[in-house]
């Protein structure tokens, strides 16, 4: 034995194998730490996601705690599967967030309401569900303990400062709303940018103006007047959905179905005996009445005794405003360009292409319905009523499949405009304004909105009535 | 004088071998009997085993870290659908965009019982360097959330 040990100690054969074995052992230990740390972090992340999802789900249903708990457990089961034992029923607690410490407090608030949910998860030796290690167990660390917790609060339709309606104006974007300098908002005006709202300096706001976004931190306001109105009163974190934008396709389908019966574009006016030397039809023939509108999509103000004339236009057409007749719907497969200095009243322009309004100043377009791919409202025109606060209903509806542009120095009274992209002009004067856009909405400088202190009636359901909800309409992570 | 070697149809002068071959044989015998630097040779022989072992550990760690990223992507997608900011189809596009660096990544977002589940599957071989090819498994992540608002996604 002694000889063997002496030989073993002095022999140099196989030294490389020993070194390789040692390298592998220590390498495995180091690699094992990396591996088990990564595994521990993965488990931690799964627990955090599960508690987040459970707390958010419960907070969104907090009006019914039993149901909220059941939904939370369901999300836990779906997110953690076999590891769902990390969250027990008692780990879901209902309570409220202390407004001063911003800490979760179990149980109802002093006013008796429960507005927040806390969900915690635990994988520990204490619960006999600790995370087993793969390699570091060989150096004595067989288990890892992981914890996660989330507090979520219910989000209500109101919130922020004192509730204000949006009866004077709604500017709603699913993107961002940015307003230039010199903004002047009066009355119950709601400016909502789902992704954020930014106001520039030199602005003036009244008490009932509200700026809202999905996240309070996404509302950035430059100094404004009067400074006596606290910023907290003007800002609200809330979710507001567009109402007309999602239904645009339906409105368009209905509209063209109603018009298609009267407009047989492939057969109308085949007789070209009256064409001029250039082969162009005289305007009187182009604008001849083709049918009678009996549908329900065009607002009543365009109609006369429940109906209106339909003029079907096959090609691009440029007409003088003075040639367009009231109580008439001009439907075109191409573009419609309206020129001249005449005002228009009780007219619908429906186009598969674009509608462009050109001409000089001092024109008034009242009781108009516009539906086109792109709509250019021109500049220096007055849309809607000539004078602010003189009517109690919306007077112009503009639906753009893609875009609506408003030229500089436009005046908009009782106007609804809905399009994925709305490009308002600078120096805009408005009252009773309603906008829904999908993309960012940039209000140029010197926009002024006047308060009429009255809710306007609409031919279409609008979002300004849906803002009053104070029930839980969603949830937000608190901690 | 060297010999002329004939091999089938090919013939040529290989006198060079007659000079070096005995030396090479002698060098080989000496090399095999020599014990100097045997440690280096052993380590060189062990090196592939060590490298593969360490690479395997690194791969598994990388796969786990990638799976964390996948969970975060799935969480973001589910939350966007839950808030009505994107439709399931748009959320799938979002996931594919985030996983553009991984070949063969698949995404699915579905709503059932007012719960939205985002699932993404990435072939392990597109995440790891060698282990994925050996194992051939997929790395997946799925996150389920309560749908708070049905969105148009437009």
Beta-carbon contacts of A7 under 8 Å, excluding residues fewer than 6 positions away, are: none
The pLDDT score that the predictor gives to residue B17 is 63
Distance between CA atoms of A52 and B144, rounded to whole angstroms? Answer: 10
**Measured CA distances, A179 to A200, A201, A202, A447 (Å):** 6, 9, 11, 8
Q: Is the pLDDT of residue A467 over 70?
A: no
Give the phi and the psi of residue B78 in degrees, each rounded to 5: -65, -40
CB contact under 8 A, B64 and A41: yes
Nearest by CB: B71 against A45, A74, A75: A45
Residues in A touching B67 (Cβ below 8 Å): 42
Chain B 3-42, CB below 8 Å of chain A: which residues?
A: 35, 38-42
CB contact under 8 A, B50 and A20: yes
pLDDT, tens only, B15-68: 666 667 778 888 888 877 776 777 777 778 888 888 888 888 888 888 888 999
pLDDT band at residue A163, thresholds of 50, 70 and 90?
Answer: very low
Q: At what angle do helices B38-82 and A15-60 cross, to 10 degrees?
A: 10
Distance between CA atoms of A187 and A164, rounded to whole angstroms? Answer: 9
Task: For residue A344, give how far its alpha carbon lies from the nearest alpha carbon of chain B (Å).
Answer: 33
Distance between CA atoms of A448 and A205, rounded to whole angstroms? Answer: 10
Task: For residue B23, give how far its alpha carbon lies from the nearest alpha carbon of chain A (Å).
Answer: 28
Could you tell me which of A323, A341, A471, A86 has the C-alpha nearest to residue B148? A471
Distance between CA atoms of A440 and A216, rounded to whole angstroms? Answer: 17
Residues in B touching A156 (Cβ below 8 Å): none
pLDDT, tens only, B123-135: 988 888 776 666 6
Tokens read off for A209 = 């103006």
Tokens read off for A386 = 């000539």
Distance between CA atoms of A19 and B38, rounded to whole angstroms? Answer: 13
The pLDDT score that the predictor gives to residue A174 is 92
pLDDT band at residue A476, thresholds of 50, 70 and 90?
Answer: low
User: How many cross-chain Cβ pairs, A to B, lie less than 8 Å apart?
Assistant: 121
- The pLDDT > 90 percentage for chain A reads 36
Nearest by CB: B68 against A13, A42, A174: A42
Most A CBs within 10 Å: which of B35, B57, B115, as the mutation test of the A interface?
B57
pLDDT, tens only, A353-384: 999 998 877 789 999 999 999 999 988 889 99
Residues in A touching B85 (Cβ below 8 Å): 194
Q: What is the mean pLDDT of residues A80-87?
A: 89
Range scoring the smallest mean pLDDT among A34-43, A100-109, A263-272: A263-272
Nearest by CB: A42 against B41, B54, B64: B64
pLDDT band at residue A466, thresholds of 50, 70 and 90?
Answer: very low
Chain A 233-272, CB below 8 Å of chain B: which residues?
A: 239, 241-242, 245-246
Residues in B touching A38 (Cβ below 8 Å): 60-61, 64-65, 68
Beta bridge partners of residue B136, listed in sequence order? none
Nearest by CB: B46 against A16, A57, A246: A16
Range scoring the smallest mean pLDDT among A78-92, A184-198, A445-459, B11-25: B11-25
Q: From A25, which residue of chain B is nearest by alpha-carbon distance?
A: B50
Task: For residue A133, give how far its alpha carbon lies from the nearest alpha carbon of chain B (Å).
Answer: 13
Residue B128 in contact with partner chain A when CB distance is under 8 A: no
Tokens read off for A414 = 């009782």
Chain A 79-118, CB below 8 Å of chain B: which residues?
A: 79
Distance between CA atoms of A135 and A137, rounded to whole angstroms? Answer: 5
pLDDT band at residue A465, thresholds of 50, 70 and 90?
Answer: very low
The pLDDT score that the predictor gives to residue B132 is 64
pLDDT, tens only, B70-97: 999 999 999 888 877 788 998 999 999 9
Nearest by CB: B84 against A31, A241, A475: A241
Q: From A155, which residue of chain B is nearest by alpha-carbon distance?
A: B148
**Measured CA distances, A194 to A174, A236, B77, B152 (Å):** 5, 11, 17, 14
CB contact under 8 A, A27 and B50: yes
The pLDDT score that the predictor gives to residue A330 is 94
Tokens read off for A196 = 């954020």
CB contact under 8 A, A17 and B46: yes
pLDDT band at residue A471, thresholds of 50, 70 and 90?
Answer: very low
Q: What is the mean pLDDT of residues A232-258?
A: 85
The ipTM, to two decimals, is 0.75
CB contact under 8 A, A12 and B38: yes
CB contact under 8 A, A13 and B38: yes
**Residues recorded for chain A:** 479
**CB-neighbour burial class of residue A218 (10 A; exposed 0-12, middle 13-18, buried 19+):** middle
Q: From A135, which residue of chain B is nearest by alpha-carbon distance?
A: B57
Beta bridge partners of residue A289, listed in sequence order? none
Task: For residue A42, give how far its alpha carbon lies from the nearest alpha carbon of chain B (Å).
Answer: 6
The pLDDT score that the predictor gives to residue B92 is 93
Q: Provide the strand spans (E) within chain B.
A: 4-7, 10-13, 106-112, 115-123, 138-146
Tokens read off for A274 = 């009256």
Q: From A246, which residue of chain B is nearest by alpha-carbon distance?
A: B152
* Mean pLDDT for all residues in chain A: 84
């Amino acid at each position: 034995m002694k000889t063997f040990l002496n030989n073993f100690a002095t022999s140099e054969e196989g030294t490389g194998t020993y070194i390789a074995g040692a390298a592998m052992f220590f390498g495995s230990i180091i690699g094992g730490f990396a591996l088990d740390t990564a595994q521990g972090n993965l488990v931690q992340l799964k627990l955090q996601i599960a508690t987040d999802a459970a707390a958010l789900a419960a907070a969104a249903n907090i009006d019914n705690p039993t149901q909220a708990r059941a939904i939370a457990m369901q999300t836990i089961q779906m997110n953690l599967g076999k590891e769902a034992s990390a969250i027990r029923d008692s780990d879901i607690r209902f309570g409220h967030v202390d407004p001063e410490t911003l800490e979760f407090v179990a149980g109802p608030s002093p006013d008796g309401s429960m507005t927040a949910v806390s969900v915690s998860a635990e994988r520990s030796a204490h619960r006999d569900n600790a995370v087993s290690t793969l390699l570091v167990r060989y150096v004595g660390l067989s288990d890892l303990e992981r914890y996660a917790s989330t507090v979520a609060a219910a989000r209500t339709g109101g919130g922020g400062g004192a509730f204000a309606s949006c009866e004077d104006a709604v500017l709603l974007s699913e993107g961002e709303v940015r307003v230039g300098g010199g903004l002047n908002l009066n009355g119950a005006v709601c400016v909502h940018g789902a992704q954020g709202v930014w106001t520039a300096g030199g602005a003036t706001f009244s008490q009932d103006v509200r700026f809202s976004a999905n996240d309070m931190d996404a509302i950035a306001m430059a100094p404004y007047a009067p400074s006596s109105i606290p910023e907290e009163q003007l800002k609200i974190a809330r979710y507001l959905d567009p109402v007309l934008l999602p239904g645009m396709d339906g409105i368009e389908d209905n509209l063209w179905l109603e018009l298609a019966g009267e407009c047989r574009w492939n057969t109308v006016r085949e007789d070209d005996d009256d064409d001029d030397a250039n082969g162009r039809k005289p305007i009187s023939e182009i604008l001849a009445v083709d049918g009678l509108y009996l549908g329900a999509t065009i607002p009543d103000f365009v109609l006369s005794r429940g109906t209106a004339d339909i003029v079907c236009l096959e090609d691009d057409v440029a007409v003088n405003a003075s040639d367009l007749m009231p109580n008439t719907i001009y439907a075109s497969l191409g573009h419609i360009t309206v020129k001249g200095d005449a005002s228009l009243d009780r007219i619908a322009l429906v186009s598969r292409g674009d509608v462009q309004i050109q001409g000089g100043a001092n024109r008034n377009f009242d009781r108009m319905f516009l539906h086109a791919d792109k709509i250019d409202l021109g500049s220096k025109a007055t849309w809607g009523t000539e004078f602010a606060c003189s009517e109690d209903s919306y007077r112009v509806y503009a639906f753009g499949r893609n875009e609506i542009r408003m030229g500089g120095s436009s005046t908009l009274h009782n106007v609804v405009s809905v399009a994925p992209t709305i490009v308002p002009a600078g120096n805009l004067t408005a009252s009773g304004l309603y906008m829904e856009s999908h993309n960012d909405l940039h209000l140029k400088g010197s926009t002024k909105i006047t308060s009429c202190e009255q809710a306007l009636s609409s031919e279409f359901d609008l979002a300004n009535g849906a803002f009053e909800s104070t029930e839980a309409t969603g949830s937000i992570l608190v901690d | 004088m060297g010999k002329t070697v004939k091999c089938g149809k090919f013939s040529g002068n290989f006198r060079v071998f007659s000079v070096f071959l005995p030396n090479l044989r002698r060098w080989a015998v000496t090399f095999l009997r020599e014990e100097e630097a045997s440690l280096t040779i052993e380590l060189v022989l062990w090196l592939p085993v060590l490298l593969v072992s360490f690479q395997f550990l690194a791969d598994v760690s990388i796969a786990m870290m990638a799976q964390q990223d996948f969970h975060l992507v799935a969480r973001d997608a589910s939350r966007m659908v839950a808030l009505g900011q994107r439709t399931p189809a748009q959320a799938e596009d979002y996931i594919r965009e985030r996983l553009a660096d991984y070949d063969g990544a698949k995404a699915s977002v579905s709503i059932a019982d007012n719960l939205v589940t985002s699932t993404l599957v990435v072939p392990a071989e597109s995440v790891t360097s060698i282990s994925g090819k050996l194992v051939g498994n997929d790395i997946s992540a799925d996150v389920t959330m309560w749908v708070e608002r049905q969105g148009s996604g437009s």
